[in-house]
């Protein structure tokens, strides 16, 4: 009779345990008393022993997986049994319930044309955070969801990675989606009045029904979130950037009333052609033009020299949805100084959309010489960004806010937008940075100059 090994209750209060490490594999012989796995509990990491002699026929729960006490985690074949027969007869290995742990990036959709790149060569000019190539990493699990549940979630804009599946193996089924929809409807209705208090963002914030207040009595799901190689690489590069580049910040506030007016006029005229310019599009152009007057902003640290680049390629930071692994990538708009607003706008939209769906190619992510990160659409006032190597600077843009401002010695209502440069002090000093911002401000506050 084969023996089912279940997650043991290693402490009184233990309800779930994580298999940190299996010390045995399928086919290994064990004796009573052997420590076969390291289990992490609510209190500590402890060894799990087997109490019988036999052979490990099947491992049902892999490393890194959290399960409830009592869940079968392995099957032991006794001395007179054939482990392979026992393995064949036992249930297939448990795949992690995806709603309990964030699914690793890009597991559901086939990767785009992006080649399978692990960590890029650090000396290459490819930007750091942009190496989030949309390739399923080792250990990425497929979300378990029924076809109709997926379709309903898509139709109603519900984020399936936030759902707890009640079907077999944690499968998300129709009632889970309908439940989230109902819950979202109730809380969204309650949230609506406060939405009006948010400052004017550059693009309107849509309240996702899934971003609801959790029902009373519900706890967070503890567990380990496996990170893809891409995400680990981004992490490494961010630390490298922040710790090796001497960062400092310079902030400026723009009067964006002229820009908002110009944008409105242009969008009205171009609506029929399907063009909708965003504030960020103007900023991309503005930065590209300002860089021409301040070439250190188009440079890279080269150890014993500073390399000034010929092309002005502006990188734009794009936030990825959880299904694509979360985090952010930088899409590159090449030669932004030589392209018009309309072209920049179309390119920015196209790249952002592609990044969120099929993922970007290495080419689309590489080669930026300056990066813009914009959190204005989320209503953020002001923030600082981490330089995207090998750039020399990054511009962090906040929301255009309606404030009481001073114009011509009078207090009036106006719109102002904060922008903060993070700079590499080895390449750009404070005075240079200030001058760049003066140029940028000239352009932004006289936006007609961005059109020529």
Partner 1 sequence: MARIIEFRDALREAMSEEMRRDPRVFLMGEEVAEYDGAYKVSRGMLDEFGPRRVIDTPISETAFAGLGIGAAMMGLRPVIEFMSWSFSLVAADQILNNAPKMLYMSGGQFGCPIVFRGNDGAGGQLGSTHSWCVESLYANVPGLKMAIPFDAYDAKGLLKTAIRDDSPVFFLESERLLSIKGEVPEEEFVVAFGEALVRRPGTGCTVVSFGRPLYFCLEAATILAEEGIDCEVIDGRTIRPLDLAAIVRSVRKTNYCVVVDQSWPFASVGAEIAAQVHKACFDDLDNHVVRVHSDDVPAPYSYDLEQQMLPNTRKICEAVRSVTYNA
Binding region for partner 1 (CB under 8 A) out of 141-149, 261-269, 277-285, 413-421:
141-149
DSSP 8-state class, residue 345: H
Q: Which two structure tokens, joined as six digits, stand for 435?
A: 């001058």
At 1, is the secondary structure helix, strand, or coil? coil
Q: Is 407 in the site for partner 1 (CB under 8 A)?
A: no
- CB nearer to partner 1: give 167 or 258: 167
Least spacing, CB of residue 151 vs partner 1, in Å? 5
- CB nearer to partner 1: give 110 or 431: 110
Q: Is 167 in the site for partner 1 (CB under 8 A)?
A: yes
User: Of 11, 16, 71, 146, which one interacts with partner 1 (CB under 8 A)?
Assistant: 146
User: Of 149, 153, 291, 387, which one interacts with partner 1 (CB under 8 A)?
Assistant: 149
User: Of 12, 31, 121, 147, which one interacts with partner 1 (CB under 8 A)?
Assistant: 147
Contact 364, 332 (CB under 8 A): yes
Binding region for partner 1 (CB under 8 A) out of 61-69, 173-181, 184-192, 203-211:
173-181
Residue with tokens 């309800």: 15
Q: Is 148 in the site for partner 1 (CB under 8 A)?
A: yes
Query: φ and ψ at 29, to 5 degrees?
Result: -85, 145
Q: How far is CA 260 from CA 185, 403, 412, 434, in A?
A: 33, 14, 16, 24
Q: Is 156 in the site for partner 1 (CB under 8 A)?
A: no
Q: Is 173 in the site for partner 1 (CB under 8 A)?
A: yes
Q: How far is CA 273 from CA 14, 126, 203, 297, 342, in A?
A: 62, 35, 20, 35, 11
- CB nearer to partner 1: give 175 or 425: 175
Binding region for partner 1 (CB under 8 A) out of 99-107, 156-164, 169-177, 262-270:
169-177
User: Of 6, 16, 166, 335, which one interacts with partner 1 (CB under 8 A)?
Assistant: 166
Q: Site for partner 1 (CB under 8 A): how many residues?
A: 11
Q: Is 164 in the site for partner 1 (CB under 8 A)?
A: no
- CB nearer to partner 1: give 173 or 328: 173
Binding region for partner 1 (CB under 8 A) out of 100-108, 132-140, 143-151, 397-405:
143-151
Q: Is 322 in the site for partner 1 (CB under 8 A)?
A: no
User: Of 43, 142, 151, 425, which one interacts with partner 1 (CB under 8 A)?
Assistant: 151
- CB nearer to partner 1: give 147 or 193: 147
At 78, is the secondary structure helix, strand, or coil? coil
Q: Which two structure tokens, joined as six digits, stand for 91?
A: 């249930």
Least spacing, CB of residue 175 vs partner 1, in Å? 7
Q: List % helix, strand, coil for the chain (3-state, nearest 5).
A: 35, 25, 45
Whether 247 is a known active-site residue: answer no
Q: How many CB atoms lie within 10 A of CB 206?
A: 10
Residues whose CB is less than 8 angstroms from the CB of residue 122 and which lie 6 or more positions away in sequence, other chains included: 240
User: Of 175, 185, 292, 350, which one interacts with partner 1 (CB under 8 A)?
Assistant: 175
Q: Which secondary-structure segment (H or E) carries 210?
A: none
- CB nearer to partner 1: give 43 or 151: 151
Full DSSP string of 397-434? EEEEEEEEEEETTEEEEEEEEEEEEEEETTT--HHHHH
Least spacing, CB of residue 172 vs partner 1, in Å? 10
Contact 277, 267 (CB under 8 A): yes
Contact 107, 137 (CB under 8 A): no
Beta bridge partners of 255: 416
- In the set 156, 247, 350, 425, the catalytic residue is 425
Query: φ and ψ at 62, to 5 degrees?
Result: -80, 170
Contact 444, 282 (CB under 8 A): yes
Active site residues: 425
User: Which residues contact partner 1 (rule: CB under 8 A)?
Assistant: 146-151, 166-167, 173-175
């Amino acid at each position: 009779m084969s023996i089912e090994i279940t997650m043991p209750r290693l402490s009184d209060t233990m309800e779930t345990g994580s298999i940190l490490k299996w010390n045995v594999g399928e086919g290994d012989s064990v004796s009573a008393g052997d420590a076969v796995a390291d289990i992490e509990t609510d209190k500590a990491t402890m060894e799990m022993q087997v109490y019988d002699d036999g052979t490990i026929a099947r491992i049902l729960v892999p490393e890194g997986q959290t399960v409830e006490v009592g869940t079968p985690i392995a099957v032991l074949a006794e001395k007179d049994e054939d482990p392979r027969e026992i393995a064949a007869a036992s249930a297939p290995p448990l795949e992690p319930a995806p709603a309990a742990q964030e699914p690793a990036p890009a597991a559901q959709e086939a990767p785009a044309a992006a080649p399978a790149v692990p960590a890029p060569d650090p000396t290459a000019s490819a930007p750091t955070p942009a190496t989030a190539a949309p390739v399923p990493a080792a250990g990425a699990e497929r979300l378990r969801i029924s076809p109709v549940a997926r379709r309903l979630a898509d139709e109603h804009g519900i984020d399936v990675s936030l759902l707890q599946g009640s079907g077999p193996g944690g499968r998300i089924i129709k009632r889970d989606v309908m439940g989230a929809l109902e819950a979202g409807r109730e809380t969204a209705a309650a949230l609506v009045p406060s939405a009006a208090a948010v400052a004017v963002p550059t693009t309107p914030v849509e309240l996702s029904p899934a971003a609801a207040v959790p029902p009373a009595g519900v706890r967070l799901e503890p567990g380990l979130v496996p990170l893809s190689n891409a995400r680990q690489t981004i992490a490494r590069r961010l630390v490298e950037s922040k710790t090796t580049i001497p960062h400092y910040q310079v902030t400026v506030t723009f009067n964006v009333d002229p820009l908002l007016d110009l944008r409105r006029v242009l969008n009205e005229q171009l609506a029929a052609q399907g063009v909708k310019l965003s504030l960020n599009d103007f900023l991309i152009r503005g930065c590209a033009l300002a860089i021409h007057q301040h070439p250190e902003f188009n440079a890279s640290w080269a150890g014993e020299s500073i390399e000034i680049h010929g092309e002005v390629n502006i990188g734009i930071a794009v936030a990825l949805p959880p299904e694509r692994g979360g985090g952010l990538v930088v899409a590159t708009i090449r030669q932004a100084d030589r392209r018009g607003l309309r072209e920049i706008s179309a390119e920015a939209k196209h790249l952002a959309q592609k990044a969120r769906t099929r993922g970007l190619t290495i080419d689309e992510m590489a080669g930026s010489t300056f990066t813009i990160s914009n959190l204005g659409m989320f209503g953020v006032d002001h923030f600082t960004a981490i330089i995207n190597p090998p750039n020399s600077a990054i511009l962090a843009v906040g929301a255009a806010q309606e404030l009481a401002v001073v114009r011509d010695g009078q207090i009036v209502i106006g719109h102002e937008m904060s922008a903060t440069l993070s700079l590499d002090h080895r390449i750009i000093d404070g005075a240079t940075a200030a001058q760049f911002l003066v140029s940028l401000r000239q352009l932004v506050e006289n936006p007609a100059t961005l059109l020529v």
